Amino acid sequence: MYRTTPPVIRLSDYQPPEFLIDHVQLRFELDAQQTLVEAELSLRRNPAATRGDGDLRLDGEQLELEAIRLNERALTPAEYQIEDAHLRVRRVPDRCRLWTRVRLNPSANTALEGLYVSGDMLCTQCEAEGFRRITYFLDRPDVMATYRVTLIADPARYPVLLSNGNPAGDEGRLDDGRLCVHWDDPFPKPSYLFAVVAGDLRAVEDRFETASGRPIPLRIYVEPGNEDKCEHAMRSLIAAMRWDEQRYGREYDLEVFNIVAVSHFNMGAMENKGLNVFNAKYILARPESATDTDFAGIEGVVAHEYFHNWTGNRITCRDWFQLSLKEGFTVYRDQEFSADQGSRGVKRIEDVRLLRARQFPEDSGPMAHPVRPDSYIEINNFYTATVYEKGAELVRMQAHLLGPERFRQATDLYFERFDGQAVTTDDFVACMETAGGIDLTQFKRWYSQAGTPQLDCADRFDPATGTYRLEVRQHTPATPGQTEKQPLHIPLALGLLDAEGRDLPLQLQGETTPPAPGTRLLELRESVETFVFTGLAEQPVPSLLRGFSAPVQIHYPYTDAQLSFLMAHDSDGFNRWDAAQTLAQRLLLAMVEAPGTPVPAPFLDAFARALADEAADPALIAEVLTLPAESYLGDQMSVVDVDGIHRARQTLAAAIGSRLRAPLLAAYERTRSADAFDLSHASMGRRALGNLCLGYLVRAGDGEALALAQRQFDAQQNMTDVIAALRMLVETATEAGEQALTAFYQRWSSEPLVIDKWFALQAQSHRVDTLARVERLLAHPDFSLTNPNRVRALIGAFAGGNPVRFHAADGTGYRFLTDRILELDPLNPQIASRLLYPMTRWRRYDPGRQQLQRDQLERILEVEGLSNDVYEVVSKSLG
Ligand code: B3K
Ligand code: ZN
């Protein structure tokens, strides 16, 4: 049994810090086993502090304190105390300099938080609370300081020494031959943005000239041999820097901008000031070894981390409850950036697909929390789809309510008002209110209220008066700890279509402005609201929540015919896609209920029509023709029928493949491109559509299609095509699949990022023997529990990306995951906790599976010395 319950941190307990740190001098003697860190903190009592006993309490974990001085004087043991995760110095003066020397062992740091070893290099990860594993400090984001850093290391091992800010002065050599380098960061920053990297690294260089004409050298540092894989990341960085100047008037501020790609990293990347550290997955790419999805990921993440320089670094969070202040806004910014680089419509669909797949389930499950949470045990558990993706939707709604010009004025005001400060989401919204001239008091409930609002719509057309009444009811289901919900301020974009599919002119009753055709933004505020449109000659078909104008679920009793009609005619691309998804979802759920349900001809006709639309963006057509995921279909059922959903989806895919054979083959041929390595949006779209078509054909058991897949695999061109073909071979043809897997491994065995794909693809296979294979792969020489990418590729892909095999009715999947979590927790609690997610929603399954999952969750809870990360998720899930 877990003995002491870890403390709960609450927003309502927030207190300003008793001390501030204005400046920090750090000196590192870097070594993989023994690193010495000397820190001199210039401290002063915070005039805004409301309480304090005169003692200074600094955070520190896993540090060996060797020496401590206050204002140059060594402290006696009576003057300080080391409590479990704190250093307490008694009675310090209002202004002082505290100097400490601590020793750490980076090579023993498997949690990858603080200073750790990745391959042959040393690197850091400090967000959220990793700096306290480097030195004793006020490790909280509302303490912002300038830093001067000295790095000393053996140049044979670590010829490149990097930290935040600008290089300061010449590199030098100490008498013992060690290299000594200085960095200066003039911008006050919270400790979570601190970074150090040391290694034998190669730089890929370019340069960017800012709007005001300052040339900025840009360097991407990689391990030797990877220099030829940085072009796309560099191009994305330059595009992001330009975009932030043009769209937000934000210029880069330091003299250099550095990025380092590392192979052991807990998440995607980290926005450390002037020194972004990246999971190699989000930097390294060439078309023969990375997929189009990888390229899009790189573009988005490089931009995201760069954008943090203003939204996160120059203006940061007062406390971790405000995480969405920087994450929600920065995700919104990277979404808009990517929309401008490729297709806006397709990007919106991808973003909403992700929101529905990840955030909606989170918001209706045991870990549901508001965008600004009120409490946490372990903050690392709150880097969630809610804080990030729903947070981005809240910014998007405000941008929508203000319109582009006022939104820009509001962000200008935000940057002007809060530069150099640590602030709150309320501060952000206040800028929206001031510049927008609107009252967002009610809107702010979006930040504090968890759960996905449900909108129930009903309508009535009165031909006698030509009026159309639309009634919208909103309600938000209860979430853990929040049973009472209040109505939200919801922007609802809609259009009304005539019988030809054209947008009708819209005029609300009582309005004097002339009716305008197109989309209209309604604002909901009450639990029930009725909107009366006048001057209509015929019963319209409503197109609701255009562009997904709010993160809600909308319900309207559409007939299948109306959905097909919207799919064909809606002027809103998002709603055309959404209508197609709803149609497919309905059919699939009917097939789950009644397995013999035939596939209706109109469904296939609509599919064929979309396929034949050669004028449309192939990426968009691919989105329209992609069936909803198994997990998403499960979310729509009161009890998830794991096997029924899998069967229905396979059956429908096979039916599409056999009944639309000719048009699918034609589309496949049409989308093959002469330049397999082209990375334009158009080429990526063609590959997506082509592989989707081939996949349907293969699932129908089509021999010719399987031969095409084999040929596509053998051609070994773009990785997008190779991986798609490999997946088809593995799923269908045992012998050819095995051979292809072997060939693929041999070809790519020296490229870890490609080998991750090899692991993931096998873990996601629908074949019945997949778990046995995954267990065998645990013993593969390339598998390692200490590399998060590998863990995600094998264990994460199985548990999170293979519902039918993970949720096997005999509970073997659950037991497997639990065993792995218990092995991982002592090594890397963040990764262990993340892997748990698929089991937290046990209540959604049948009684047998519920019991099996609960048994495993309880088994975890019984382990002594569990991390706070895993404890929090398991205990809340059992709740
Ligand atoms: N800010 C980091 C995430 C840090 C996660 C710490 N557990 C990456 C990002 O959102 O840009
Ligand atoms: Zn971020």
pLDDT one-digit tens code per residue, 96-153: 999 999 999 999 999 999 999 999 999 999 999 999 999 999 999 999 999 999 999 9
CB neighbour class for 484 (10 Å; exposed up to 12, middle 13-18, buried from 19): exposed
Is 835 a pocket residue for ligand 1 (Cβ < 6 Å)? no
Residue of 757, 841, 827 lying closest to 792 (CA atoms): 757
Rounded-to-integer distance, Cα 229 and Cα 558, Å? 49
Percent of the chain past pLDDT 70, that is, above it, reads 100
Is 485 a pocket residue for ligand 1 (Cβ < 6 Å)? no
The pLDDT-based confidence of 50 (bands split at 50, 70, 90) is: confident
Is 333 a pocket residue for ligand 1 (Cβ < 6 Å)? no
Q: State the average pLDDT for the chain.
A: 97
Residue 394 has pLDDT above 60, yes or no: yes
Whether the Cβ atoms of residue 877 and residue 366 lie closer than 8 Å to each other: yes
pLDDT at 1: 46
Is 195 a pocket residue for ligand 1 (Cβ < 6 Å)? no
Joined together, the tokens standing for residue 606 give 């609509």
Nearest atom (ligand 1) to Cα of 331: 10
Cα–Cα distances (Å) from 685 to 616, 623, 681, in that order, read: 10, 10, 6
Query: How many angstroms does the Cα of residue 127 sit away from the middle of ligand 2?
Result: 10
The arrangement of strands across the sheet holding 80-83 comes to 56-59, 86-89, 80-83
Rounded-to-integer distance, Cα 702 and Cα 865, Å? 54
pLDDT at 22: 98
Q: Is 470 helix (H, G, I), strand (E, B) or coil?
A: strand
Residues surrounding ion ligand 2 at CB below 5 Å: 327, 330
Question: Quick one: angle between helices 681-699 and 703-715, nearest 10?
Answer: 140
Minimal-distance CA residue to ligand 1 atom 8: 270
Rounded-to-integer distance, Cα 530 and Cα 476, Å? 19
In sequence order, which ranges of 355-420 are alpha helices (DSSP H)?
360-363, 385, 391-402, 404-418
Torsion of CA 154, 159, 165, 168, to 10 degrees: 70
Joined together, the tokens standing for residue 187 give 């911008």
The distance from CA 149 to its chain's CA centroid, rounded to whole angstroms, is: 31
Residue 7 has pLDDT above 70, yes or no: yes
Whether the Cβ atoms of residue 277 and residue 195 lie closer than 8 Å to each other: yes
Q: Give the number of the ligand closest to the Cα of residue 311.
A: 2
Query: How many angstroms does the Cα of residue 378 sit away from the middle of ligand 1?
Result: 14
Q: Compute the average pLDDT of residues 484-491.
A: 98
> What contacts 688, CB < 8 A, 6 or more positions away?
292, 618, 619, 622, 720
Percent of the chain past pLDDT 90, that is, above it, reads 97
Q: Compute the average pLDDT of residues 394-411.
A: 98
Rounded-to-integer distance, Cα 383 and Cα 833, Å? 12
Minimal-distance CA residue to ligand 1 atom 5: 127
pLDDT at 171: 83
Joined together, the tokens standing for residue 321 give 């409850």
Residue owning tokens 């074949």: 767
Whether the Cβ atoms of residue 380 and residue 830 lie closer than 8 Å to each other: yes
Is 383 a pocket residue for ligand 1 (Cβ < 6 Å)? yes
Nearest atom (ligand 1) to Cα of 271: 11
Rounded-to-integer distance, Cα 173 and Cα 22, Å? 29
Residue 73 has pLDDT above 50, yes or no: yes
Choosing from 271, 276, 828, 831 the residue with most ligand 1 atoms within 8 A of its CB, the one to mutate for a pocket test is 271
Torsion of CA 839, 843, 844, 849, to 10 degrees: 70
**758-777 pLDDT, tens digit each:** 999 999 999 999 999 999 99
pLDDT at 216: 99
pLDDT at 645: 98
The arrangement of strands across the sheet holding 490-497 comes to 520-524, 490-497, 541-544
Residue of 428, 375, 423 lying closest to 142 (CA atoms): 423
**265-278 pLDDT, tens digit each:** 999 999 999 999 99
> What contacts 663, CB < 8 A, 6 or more positions away?
608, 611, 612
Residue owning tokens 């778990």: 771
DSSP per-residue codes, 91-140: S--SEEEEEEEEEE-GGG--S--EEEEETTEEEEE-TTTTGGGTS-B--S
Minimal-distance CA residue to ligand 1 atom 2: 270
Q: Give the number of the ligand closest to the Cα of residue 272.
A: 1
Domain boundaries along the sequence of the chain: 1-200, 630-673+694-878
Q: Give the number of the ligand closest to the Cα of residue 329.
A: 2
Cα–Cα distances (Å) from 595 to 3, 590, 686, in that order, read: 49, 8, 33
- What are the backbone angles phi and psi of residue 206, rounded to the nearest 5°? -150, -170
DSSP per-residue codes, 686-751: HHHHHHHHHHHHHHTT-HHHHHHHHHHHHHT-SHHHHHHHHHHHHHH-HHHHHHHHHHHHHHHTT-
Q: Is 183 helix (H, G, I), strand (E, B) or coil?
A: strand
Whether the Cβ atoms of residue 331 and residue 388 lie closer than 8 Å to each other: yes
Residue 169 has pLDDT above 90, yes or no: no
Domain 630-673+694-878 has CATH 1.20.1090.10: no
Cis peptide before 269 (omega within 30 of 0): no
**587-619 pLDDT, tens digit each:** 999 999 999 999 999 999 999 999 999 999 999
The pLDDT-based confidence of 218 (bands split at 50, 70, 90) is: very high
Task: Return the H-helix or E-strand segment holding 581.
Answer: helix 573-593
Query: How many angstroms does the Cα of residue 522 sit away from the middle of ligand 1?
Result: 35
Is 834 a pocket residue for ligand 1 (Cβ < 6 Å)? no
What would you measure as the largest C-alpha separation in the chain, in angstroms? 96
Nearest atom (ligand 1) to Cα of 312: 1
Choosing from 282, 327, 330 the residue with most ligand 1 atoms within 8 A of its CB, the one to mutate for a pocket test is 327
In this structure, what DSSP letter does residue 515 have? P
pLDDT at 866: 97
Whole-prediction pTM: 0.99
Query: How many angstroms does the Cα of residue 196 sit away from the middle of ligand 1?
Result: 16
Joined together, the tokens standing for residue 105 give 């062992």
Q: Is 682 helix (H, G, I), strand (E, B) or coil?
A: helix
Residue 305 known to be catalytic: yes
- What are the backbone angles phi and psi of residue 27, rounded to the nearest 5°? -130, 120
Nearest atom (ligand 1) to Cα of 308: 11
Residue 376 region by backbone torsions, left for phi larger than 0, else alpha for psi between -120 and 50, else beta: beta
The pLDDT-based confidence of 3 (bands split at 50, 70, 90) is: low
pLDDT at 2: 44
Is 327 a pocket residue for ligand 1 (Cβ < 6 Å)? yes
Count the neighbouring beta carbons within 10 Å of the beta carbon of residue 606.
Answer: 23
Query: How many angstroms does the Cα of residue 165 sit away from the middle of ligand 1?
Result: 19
Residue 707 has pLDDT above 50, yes or no: yes
Residue of 684, 695, 614, 623 lying closest to 660 (CA atoms): 695
Amino acid at 564: S
Q: What is the CA radius of gyration of the chain?
A: 28
Is 633 a pocket residue for ligand 1 (Cβ < 6 Å)? no
Q: Which CATH number fits domain 1-200: 3.40.50.1000, 2.30.110.10, 3.30.1330.10, 2.60.40.1730?
A: 2.60.40.1730
Q: Compute the average pLDDT of residues 802-824.
A: 98
Q: Compute the average pLDDT of residues 357-372.
A: 98
Q: Compute the average pLDDT of residues 287-300.
A: 98
Nearest atom (ligand 1) to Cα of 301: 11
Q: Compute the average pLDDT of residues 502-525.
A: 95
Q: Is 855 helix (H, G, I), strand (E, B) or coil?
A: helix
Q: Give the number of the ligand closest to the Cα of residue 305.
A: 1
**Residue among 113, 305, 362, 630 flagged as catalytic:** 305
> What contacts 532, CB < 8 A, 6 or more positions away?
467, 468, 469, 470, 508, 509
Whether the Cβ atoms of residue 219 and residue 204 lie closer than 8 Å to each other: yes
Whether the Cβ atoms of residue 440 and residue 427 lie closer than 8 Å to each other: no
Minimal-distance CA residue to ligand 1 atom 7: 380
Is 127 a pocket residue for ligand 1 (Cβ < 6 Å)? yes
Same fold? 1-200, 630-673+694-878: no
